[in-house]
Amino acid sequence: MNSPGGMLSVPGTRPKGRLITALFWRLMASPKQPLIWIIDSNHWERVNLRAVLIERGCEVEGFVSIFRAVVMLYREIVEKPDAIVLEIKNLVYQSQELDELARIGAPVVLLTGVYESRKLADEHKWAAVLRRPFTIGQVARTVERLVGHGPR
């Protein structure tokens, strides 16, 4: 027996097309998770923040340098982020890399120490600057505020 849409169906069974359609609309109805980049040379700080952001409903990509993040974007291996968390403590970078990061157009949260890179924090336009001491929760709340995504 033919059903509307040209699919063959057997009386008394549920057509597979309806199940696929229901799954499609369920996926379409779920809100898009914001993509957050974490750029931090410290592996453990990066994975801890990543875990918290994933738990709060974000997609997260981690990078050890600004250069790697920008290259991955230009090679279309990763998508453009909704926000970027940049930890500059112990991070080796060049000013051109900061310019490339700014060209991406995503808000950047700068994480820094109390005394380090005061000039850097003042010279560039950052969406937010968090100076030590801060908690992972404070970083996560700042990112959520920037992307309009609250905890679930």
Domain with 58 in it: 31-147
Shared domain check, 24 and 96 = no
Q: Are residues 50 and 116 in the same domain?
A: yes
pLDDT by residue for the chain (152 residues), tens digit each? Answer: 554 545 454 555 544 555 555 555 555 555 789 999 999 999 999 999 999 999 999 999 999 999 999 999 999 889 999 999 999 876 777 778 888 998 999 999 999 876 665 667 677 788 999 988 999 999 999 999 999 876 54
Parallel, antiparallel, or unpaired: how do β-strands 83-87 and 35-39 relate?
A: parallel
Q: Is the same domain home to 25 and 35? A: no
Number of domains present in the structure of the chain: 2
77 and 119 share one domain: yes
- pTM of the predicted protein model: 0.76
Structure tokens at 132: 């030590």
76 phi/psi in degrees, rounded to 5: 60, 35
19 and 54 in a common domain:
no
